[in-house]
Amino acid sequence: MHYQTAWQWARDGKMPVPVTKTATGRYLVLEQPSERDGRTVAYCRVSSADQKADLERQAGRVVTAATGMGLTIADVVSEIGSGLNGRRPKLARLLRDPQVTTIVVEHRDRLTRFGLEHLSAALEASGRRIVVIDDAEVDHDLMRDMTEALTSFCARLYGRGSASRRAKAALRAARDAA
């Protein structure tokens, strides 16, 4: 948005957020308290239909852990699809729904393979958040980053189904050669 548009909106009282005019004539955007009255939803995902039984067990683990953290799960959204696939309609619906203030996942890769930090920052800007139950794999070590990058490249070359297996084999070969 252009600054003149923001100035006109503030002047005309059309600004979508609360603003106040300072003594110097500038408009100050007031901080809004974040609303935590929305719904908390558990998001569970597996990569293939063969893992459907794992999906149900994953949902049980997420609900149990979230309840232990004092969160009340309003709904469980389950989806089958690759973490590399950006076309997951149930996840997209969750992210678009402003009533969903908290999304709970078991592991960070159940939500997305890349960019979780960016997704979290974008949601936090609107008073929403992502809770990762088992955050032990968040260590920013080189091996995890290399595995994610290699998996992405393999997915483009060989297809999404065998990408993870081929990436791990390539890393094992590189480790054995060193």
Q: Which of 47, 82, 120, 164 is catalytic?
A: 47
Q: Name the token pair of 11.
A: 């002047």
What are the angstrom distances between the C-alpha of 111 and each of 59, 82, 107, 114, 129? 13, 10, 8, 9, 13
Question: How confident is the model over 116-170, as pLDDT tens digits?
Answer: 888 899 999 999 999 999 876 544 555 666 776 777 776 666 666 566 777 778 8
Question: How confident is the model over 63-99, as pLDDT tens digits?
Answer: 999 988 889 999 999 999 877 667 789 999 999 999 9
Query: Is the distance from CB of 102 to CB of 116 less than 8 angstroms?
Result: no
Half-sphere exposure of 63 (CA within 13 A, CB side): 12
Q: Is 78 known to be catalytic?
A: no
Closest CA relative to residue 71, chosen from 45, 103, 94: 103
39-132: what CATH class?
alpha beta
| CATH 3.40.50.1390 domain residues, the chain | 39-132
Q: Which amino acid is at 54?
A: D
Q: The whole model's pTM is what?
A: 0.61
* Alpha helices for 17-159 (secondary structure H): 52-68, 89-96, 108-111, 116-124, 142-158
Counting DSSP H helices and E strands in the chain, the numbers are: 7, 6
